[in-house]
Structure 1
């Protein structure tokens, strides 16, 4: 399902987002939704009919509210009114055409339009339309006929079919799909699998469609979109039963982050799809165009309507470049699926062994509860809980939302309410933690008294590059005293792991292009790069341009950053230390840094001092090769070549100066220890050589 760009700015964009402590949902959700909402939009749906009284019984799922830990209250979808207005073509609360005009139009059709005809019979193509359709073209002109078999005399059974509550246009493509599902083994296998899976969700979807006053046979859109698999993902990123793209899902109130993706939630995504269908129909006033827009995006269909000056979907099929290829088949495919569903026995699908329908009780649980604890309290397996809650991606409830409504097997609500408090020790020991930009995962783990590997496992993280500023992690609950103690330990590790590492109370050495750099009206801050950082991400966190950040640090804007690099940035004096999204930025403490000019003699001398070596100038009294000079200090000719940027076979003339690194403390680093050992071996060989002479 596609959502096309909207030029109408959504009103919701002017509403400031609450802080993380004030809202149940993640800090970045609204900001990301609003940013994406400017670039994407959906499409409006229809004038709603009253639900039928003789409909199927309501789908199970909300009939039981057990007295568990908090009464379950499902929050309504928080849709984006601005984007919905763009889709509908009017305010969300309004009927875009107006009740008076609708009544007038109905009167005009009754009084001056074509005869009423037989209820449910569609407009049909001309008798030769199917021949042109078989060549990839539509029809030349449409006319009204009494019976569908007038279009295809060779298929008299068309006259006997029960039609869906969606309007059907007897196009050759619809008939070809019907023949495929009726006679082709491939089509029969596909339809049999679809109808089998439909059993799990049919009651749920039909009940929501009726509640919204929508045609029940929109049920078959989910068949075409996802094969009734809530876990399916398209190659372009659409997901769930109704194949919402992330931006479209957010417009219609679906919560999408690394913990939860409500596009996979059969209940919430169906409610969002109902809103989308209603908006699309409100925009187009025609179900064929609305369905085409569901597939291609409402903007694409509007452009075709205006380009070819027709609001007849079937006419658009005739014209070159009017519709995407998939969209040109989509409506026919959906119509055919709905017809088969209404005529199972005729098509030979009356014996389908359908999947068990979703049945559940709803319970309210706190944040960060493992699904294992919920399963034990409900007397079910983790797999069953996951099947009922496919929107949860990390095997626990979201860490930012208390009172999260979960589904447990039907009838287990009272058991859950009794057993859940008894299992408090299994779940009431975690908190949510918002990662700061530049914060190392090992520091987060240390502060919360947990190993790095355990922290990653707890949060379903496979590689530390997945961690980014603003991300919400689950961490063990500790006292403030313990966290303060652990934080001090983490900071010592941070500042002692610079390049090169410091010991005792030595300051972290930071090399910049100019240690005395200054920009009037700005203050300089320092940021340590962590795995996964990019120049653009760091620049965005500081609210500066990528070009400026690269210039201040003399870096290539397109090159990768690497962990343990330290960047300087010049920010406004009143900058609050948070990114544009409100996530904190982890800055280094200026008082614990020793800033030097990169590549200066001071910089080189301090680096060598940190690893137990001293930078000295050596002047030979007679010609000496790099190899000879190096052996005196435990270096080889290539070490000398690297230090002095000269060839390794260089011969130094008397009076010429070269730089040498001399070991002064072999205990300071492995490099110094190895060099001292090499010097001893060289001296031993020299002594043995003298003794032989």
Structure 2
């Protein structure tokens, strides 16, 4: 557990000190998850701080097909410290706050109300609470004592450097997790240890992702990303337009049904609802074995190297366009297109992405996006002229809007966060 905590402990202690919260709270993930950001309990609590889905949403932790911020090191830590500070403000006692973090604030409030009604004390030790919650604070105190004096208990704990382990990098481009790890010079396990919130094999640039990397690896990643010439992302998204089965949808968009079900974790026999977003591969493998190997290894498809004096381009298939028509449009033999895309299929799906080798002398007109220009709003003069034209016999009546005085919003007083330490006994 201490080895795992070396990646995150410095950041968590800094966040606690910035909020004037007890630094002993940095040991709480030892009790919650054994400092494992990928932990998942039987109650569906996830991450180092073990947020259940509902509480996670209450503290703005995004949970969707591509991202689960309950596992995100930065986001979940901020949410957990916000929650703990709120609980301490509610109960005025760290033991009760920690009991509420484990058992739920509503349960602790009801236990306090029962004792108060019976004329009994309402402190942590006097409440009737579950065994797990009763042991929760003593466990934290025990870990604190062991960390403070490991030799007293015959232990030698690994040293934890007093400096940040990771830095944050961002990218606006979609990139496969496997490619990001490769560019950073990390194994997939090492990359996932710092970035467990990416729940799919692709990182979406549109979400402005925060990628955590060791400092040296971050520099390597930025340089590698700048120089990378290959396909950064081999996945794209598709939005379902009507209720249909996986097999029907797979045939429509030209994707292997097993790939569609496996990567999106779609149960057998389940029908997809309109508006559902699924992940699909941009480039198809030669057969089902290649697809299964891709899913198992989470690696990037190995495309053939560029032919001299050419560059790779991704072209979207037009509606009702066959393979023969597509090949004719680009003046390339069907067999050559099949070889470049590692497929023997002759059918294409509308919107499917096909990779071609295009001579460098040819301008990239095939991939230019259409620019949508919105018309400017009409001027007051134009509106008046149109009103006069439509209502030639009716005079144009001008109405003056009455605007009252604008009041500045009242500033909310910020209450100081608790600063006292957790009691030692």
Q: Is TM (by shorter chain) over 0.5?
A: yes
TM-score class, shorter-chain normalisation, is 0.5 to 0.7
Structure 2 runs not aligned, ≥5 long: 283-313, 323-425
Backbone CA RMSD of aligned residues: 2.9
Residue 153 of structure 2 corresponds to which residue in structure 1? 347
Residue 383 of structure 1 corresponds to which residue in structure 2? 189
Change over 3 Å in CA distance of 1:336–1:425 after alignment to 2: same
Distance of 1:370 and 1:464 partners within structure 2:
29
Residue 140 of structure 2 corresponds to which residue in structure 1? 334
Residue 292 of structure 2 corresponds to which residue in structure 1? none
Q: 1:214 aligns with which of 21, 36, 43?
A: 21
Superposed displacement of residue 368, structure 1: 4.5
Whether the 8 Å contact between 1:197 and 1:228 is mirrored in structure 2 is yes
Indicate the SS of the match to 1:412: helix
What is the TM-score when the length of structure 2 is the normalising length?
A: 0.60
Change over 3 Å in CA distance of 1:199–1:415 after alignment to 2: closer
Change over 3 Å in CA distance of 1:402–1:229 after alignment to 2: closer
Residue 434 of structure 1 corresponds to which residue in structure 2? 239
Whether the 8 Å contact between 2:195 and 2:212 is mirrored in structure 1 is yes
Structure 1 runs not aligned, ≥5 long: 1-193, 317-321, 487-693
- What per-residue deviation string (whole Å, max 9, x for no partner) do you get for residues 20-61 of structure 1? xxxxxxxxxxxxxxxxxxxxxxxxxxxxxxxxxxxxxxxxxx
What is the TM-score when the length of structure 1 is the normalising length?
A: 0.38
Residue 312 of structure 1 corresponds to which residue in structure 2? 123
Q: Any residues of structure 2 matched to 1:509-528 within 5 Å, and which?
A: none
- What per-residue deviation string (whole Å, max 9, x for no partner) do you get for residues 56-91 of structure 1? xxxxxxxxxxxxxxxxxxxxxxxxxxxxxxxxxxxx
Distance of 2:269 and 2:225 partners within structure 1:
34
Distance of 1:229 and 1:426 partners within structure 2:
32
Residue 359 of structure 1 corresponds to which residue in structure 2? 165
Distance of 1:404 and 1:228 partners within structure 2:
23
Whether the 8 Å contact between 1:373 and 1:427 is mirrored in structure 2 is yes
Residue 372 of structure 1 corresponds to which residue in structure 2? 178
Q: Any residues of structure 2 matched to 1:65-464 within 5 Å, and which?
A: 194-309=1-116, 310-316=121-127, 322-349=128-155, 351-353=156-158, 359-366=165-172, 368-398=174-204, 401-423=206-228, 425-428=230-233, 430-456=235-261, 459=264, 463=268
Whether the 8 Å contact between 1:379 and 1:412 is mirrored in structure 2 is yes
- What per-residue deviation string (whole Å, max 9, x for no partner) do you get for residues 649-678 of structure 1? xxxxxxxxxxxxxxxxxxxxxxxxxxxxxx
Distance of 2:21 and 2:229 partners within structure 1:
43
Aligned residues: 286
Distance of 2:267 and 2:275 partners within structure 1:
18
Change over 3 Å in CA distance of 1:458–1:366 after alignment to 2: farther
Change over 3 Å in CA distance of 1:428–1:291 after alignment to 2: closer
Change over 3 Å in CA distance of 1:375–1:247 after alignment to 2: same
Whether the 8 Å contact between 2:8 and 2:165 is mirrored in structure 1 is no
Distance of 1:381 and 1:483 partners within structure 2:
41
Change over 3 Å in CA distance of 1:441–1:283 after alignment to 2: same
Indicate the SS of the match to 2:169: strand
Superposed displacement of residue 385, structure 1: 1.5
Whether the 8 Å contact between 1:220 and 1:338 is mirrored in structure 2 is yes
